[in-house]
Chain A
Amino acid sequence: MAITMTKGQVGLTGNTAVAYAMKQINPDVCAAYPITPSTQIVEEFSGYVADGAVDTEFITVESEHSAMSACIGASAAGARVMTATSSQGLALMWEMLYIASGMRLPIILTNVNRALSSPINIHCDHSDSMGARDSGWIQLYSETVQEAYDNLFQAVRIAENEKVMLPVMVCLDGFITSHAIENMSLLDDAEVRQFIGEYKALHSLLDTDNPVTYGAMTLPDTYIEFKRQQSDAIARAKDVVSEIGKDFGNRFGREYGLMEKYMLDDADVAIVILSSAAGTTKVAVDELRKKGKKVGILRPRLFRPFPFKEVADALKGVKAVACLDRVDSMSGFGGPLFNEVRSSLYESEKRPKIASRIFGLGGRDYKVKDAVGVFEELLKIAETGKVEVLTKYITM
């Protein structure tokens, strides 16, 4: 597909931008099975393969389970590997997700967030990637097309960092970000090449002079040690994500941290929210700020590993917080973001009041008025010091 630029800016959908990032990364192997709403990523990338625009070996497979299996095999062989999926596709990869992270393979997966069945639904929520939150993958959530594009390059560096060596999932919102055209700027191929560098795998299954075994059985005398190593690695990833986000900013002028704070420093109340819905919430913040209300937003960008300390720090001066989850963890106690944030705050001297609000499941619109409603509730909580309803569904 021809991409035309005006004054360094292009208008691209999230999917096209991700496919273009993959073209610029030029991975050795891509194994994928298209699924709504991430279909165009695989479709357009396979076009680049067919046109000879990349050197990638593109493996067509019969399912997402096979897609991830092929990614694992190729990564164990020492290749730089990428794939993309959504919803049921990610669910079908489940077994293999854990194998990829346990084998410490730096595979990059773009997950275009979509609700899980049942009832069947093709629209955005985070039930797919949040279900995989304990699979050992690093998870980055992108607010915009630009951020999804930028995250992909950073993901390569994070995954392949020798202190990390773990797979990374880059998430963007289905349809809202994947299909909407946004103005954004692209990097030059040469800039991308310099930023991501060459991948030199620690081991390769194809190196017959130095034969290795991947996926061997471990018994009670070693399994826990391997899990401990993995746990240490994902904890270390947090600083690596920061470093790489800074380096990205130094080179290209768009710096990324573990989280984005919007009007948070002097805020009395805050919404904590992931991905594109933060954009809608920002409009509500601007409106309320004009009326003198001290409201703000914390948007974690990194969800796995969860930046517990930094989140607690960011919410230090806030009186009341609502965590808005576009997913229910079906624990009977709010969404996953709520639970992580609430747990992060436990050590704080002065804990803000906190509430869980579940919104936008299956693509239900989340509007500025919904965010305003939550802020108004929070302002009341800040005033009275009482949380009337701890967990509830909104946008109903």
Chain B
Amino acid sequence: MADKKNLPIGGVITTGGTAHEYVTGGWRKLRPILDKDKCTNCLICWVMCPDSAIIVEDGKMIGFDLEHCKGCGICAVECPDKVKAIKMEEEGD
């Protein structure tokens, strides 16, 4: 979008996957903190996160993509009541 003379007409974004380049992590006021000992790897947080910011490897929840996590706290709410493995903490300034 930098070259203003060659903007695609109609505001069309002509390539896919550009959301990845948009670093929404800058908006974050609260940061999710994972307690690995409590986590059962049910992956409900992965399903519910609106920014695809839950990192999963080999079927295991291993942490957050903090470049894109905008700190909404949905994962912390959706993590099952009996588990509650995610806590939201204030971001430092």
Contact = CB atoms under 8 A, between A and B. Distances in A.
Interface of A: 102-105, 165, 202-203, 210-216, 218, 221-222, 225-226, 229, 233
Among A103, A213, A218, A222, which residue has the most Cβ atoms of chain B within 10 A?
A213
A61 to B, nearest CB: 23
A211 B7 contact: no
Interface in B1-31: 1, 4, 7, 9-18
B7 A213 contact: no
Nearest to B14: A212
Contacts of B9: 104, 165, 202, 229, 233
Nearest to A211: B16
B15 A211 contact: yes
Contacts of B13: 212-213, 216
Contact of B10 (A103, A210, A221): A103
Contacts of B10: 102-105, 165, 214, 226
Majority-rule SS of A interface residues: loop
A102 B11 CA distance: 8
Contacts of B16: 211-213
B14 A203 contact: yes
B12 A212 contact: yes
A211 B17 CA distance: 8
Q: Which 5 A-B pairs have the closest CB atoms?
A: A211-B16, A104-B10, A213-B13, A103-B10, A104-B9
Given A222-B7, A233-B9, 11 more contacts: A103-B10, A103-B12, A105-B10, A202-B9, A203-B14, A211-B15, A212-B13, A213-B16, A213-B18, A214-B11, A222-B11
B1 to A, nearest CB: 6
A222 B3 CA distance: 10
A214 B11 CA distance: 7
Contacts of A202: 9, 12
Nearest to A215: B11
Nearest to A218: B11
A218 B11 CA distance: 8
A214 B12 contact: yes
26 contacts: A102-B10, A102-B11, A103-B10, A105-B10, A165-B10, A202-B9, A203-B12, A203-B14, A211-B15, A211-B17, A212-B12, A212-B16, A213-B12, A214-B11, A218-B11, A221-B1, A222-B1, A222-B4, A222-B7, A225-B4, A225-B7, A226-B7, A226-B10, A226-B11, A229-B7, A229-B9
B19 to A, nearest CB: 9
A234 to B, nearest CB: 12
A215 B17 CA distance: 15
Among B1, B4, B10, B15, which residue has the most Cβ atoms of chain A within 10 A?
B10
A202 B14 CA distance: 10
A165 B11 CA distance: 13
A210 to B, nearest CB: 8
Contacts of A210: 14
B74 to A, nearest CB: 21
Given A222-B1, A225-B4, A216 B14 contact: no
A216 B15 contact: no
Contacts of B18: 213
Contacts of A216: 11, 13
A213 B10 CA distance: 10
Contacts of B1: 221-222
Nearest to B13: A213
Among B1, B7, B9, B17, which residue has the most Cβ atoms of chain A within 10 A?
B9
B21 to A, nearest CB: 13
Contacts of A218: 11
A102 B7 CA distance: 13
A104 B8 CA distance: 11
Contacts of A102: 10-11
A58 to B, nearest CB: 26
B14 to A, nearest CB: 5
A215 B13 CA distance: 9
Nearest to B7: A225
A47 to B, nearest CB: 34
Contacts of B17: 211
A138 to B, nearest CB: 15
Contacts of A229: 7, 9
Nearest to B16: A211
A212 B15 CA distance: 5
Contact of B11 (A103, A211, A221, A233): A103
